Amino acid sequence: MSYWALNAIFLVVVAAVALATVVARRPPRWASVAVALAVVLLMTAVFDNVMIGVGLVGYNETKISGAFIGIAPLEDFAYAVAAVVLLPSLWALFTPKRAIESQPRATGSRQKKGTDRA
């Protein structure tokens, strides 16, 4: 089994959970997820390259695609994507609905309290 085939199993499960949050009308804040994803992918690129460079981990050349970011195989980044999408999706699904409704959402209006003058 290739690393992409193994990743596909995990990514399908993650996609199903993320879709469930959308269907349940309880999706996470996707903009926040995107920012977290950018940070985690950058950190993954740095630390995977270090770990592979010092010989801590290695990969079977016949099981990887041959696409790399530095010396880290592209397949390695699927786990970061899965974690960053799955964890907030699970959080959104398992947070009681009344707790979500009581939290204010950003509405685009940034008016300070006490500044509304008639």
Domain ranges of the chain: 3-98
Is residue 97 packed enough to be buried (19+ CB in 10 Å), middle (13-18) or exposed (0-12)? exposed
pLDDT, position 90: 94
Predicted pLDDT at 47:
97
pLDDT tens per residue, range 37-57: 999 999 999 999 999 999 999
CA atoms within 13 A on the CB side of 110: 0
User: What is the C-alpha to C-alpha distance for residues 11 and 86, in angstroms, rounded to an integer?
Assistant: 9
Low-confidence spans in the chain with pLDDT less than 50: 118
